């Protein structure tokens, strides 16, 4: 029997964060072209789950939490972010 909780009921230790990897919900992911990224921070400001992280010379989503909504791609002024289907198929129409 597969079990994940030591509790009989939905109770959890309040001293620890109860974290759910919402990245599992995603059907598409943002991919950043590092050399195109102008580090304007638009995606960082608009990301509804706040999962955009600053890397050395570009910004990118933390894929453990990114739900793949595509807002970052649509607000990027230099088209550095492209949404790619998790199953590898194209998002182009």
CA–CA distance, 60 with 53 (Å, rounded to integer): 6
Q: What part of residues 35-64 is at the interface with other proteins (CB under 8 A)?
A: none
Q: Is 4 in the site for other proteins (CB under 8 A)?
A: yes
* Out of 9, 57, 77, 88, the residue judged to bind other proteins by CB under 8 A: 9
Identify residues 10-39 at the interface with other proteins (CB under 8 A).
10-15, 18, 20, 22, 24
Determine, following the binding rule CB under 8 A, whether residue 5 of this chain makes contact with other proteins: yes
In the bound state with other proteins, the residue whose beta carbon lies nearer, of 43 and 65, is: 65
Q: Residue 28 CB: number of other CB atoms within 10 A?
A: 19
Cβ-contact 85, 91 below 8 angstroms = yes
| Binding site residues, other proteins, CB under 8 A | 1, 3-5, 7-15, 18, 20, 22, 24
């Amino acid at each position: 029997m597969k079990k994940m909780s030591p509790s009989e009921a939905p109770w959890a230790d309040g001293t620890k964060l109860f974290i759910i990897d919402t990245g599992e919900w995603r059907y598409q992911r943002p991919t950043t072209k590092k050399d195109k990224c102008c580090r304007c921070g638009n995606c960082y400001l608009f990301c509804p789950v706040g999962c955009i992280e600053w890397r050395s010379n570009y910004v990118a989503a933390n894929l453990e939490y990114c739900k793949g909504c595509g807002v970052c791609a649509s607000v990027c002024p230099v088209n550095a972010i492209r949404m790619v289907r998790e199953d590898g198929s194209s998002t182009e129409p």
